[in-house]
Amino acid sequence: MRIAIASDHAALDLKAELRDWLIEQGHEVADLGPDTADSVDYPDFGYKLANVVADGTAERGVALCGSGIGISMSVNRNPAMRCALVSEPLSAALAREHNDANCIAMGARLTGSDMAMACLEAFLTTEFAGGRHQRRVDKLSNPEI
């Protein structure tokens, strides 16, 4: 699977661990940065990640920041994105099964690397259930606000 991963400076180490783990699992990984621990703005990397997944360059995305909150908000500004903030494997699986999430977000200051890998595995191995969930997912990309 083609997976894009991005973070801010607070999640640089977790991003490197997850990137390497994904490659070991046989995935093609695009690391969208950052490359150093210098302070950066998470929206810049969230937007970049969203664009790569939305245009089909990557099939799924992994967004990381200190809490996971800010970067998930920035990813979700793109109407093609369904990024779920997760902290354990069940929420990662349900995000895929019920919401057809194409990206997950996690907080490096809140989620350790073993738990993050478990969340990522659940996210990547769970299929979208479709059926009654499809009409709800359709509404996420076409809101009638």
Identify the DSSP state of 76. T
Examine the residue annotation and report whether 65 is marked as an active-site residue of this protein. yes
- Per the residue annotation, which of 9, 27, 83, 98 is the catalytic one? 98
Three-point CA angle 118, 133, 105, nearest 5°: 35
CA 5 to chain CA centroid, nearest Å = 7
Examine the residue annotation and report whether 98 is marked as an active-site residue of this protein. yes
Residues ≥6 apart with Cβ < 8 Å to 33: 6, 7, 40, 45, 48
Parallel, antiparallel or unpaired: strands 60-65 and 83-85: unpaired
Say if residues 11 and 104 touch (Cβ distance below 8 Å): no
Distance, in Å, from the CA atom of 19 to the CA atom of 31, rounded to the nearest integer, reads 7
- Per the residue annotation, which of 9, 65, 83, 103 is the catalytic one? 65
Catalytic residues: 65, 98
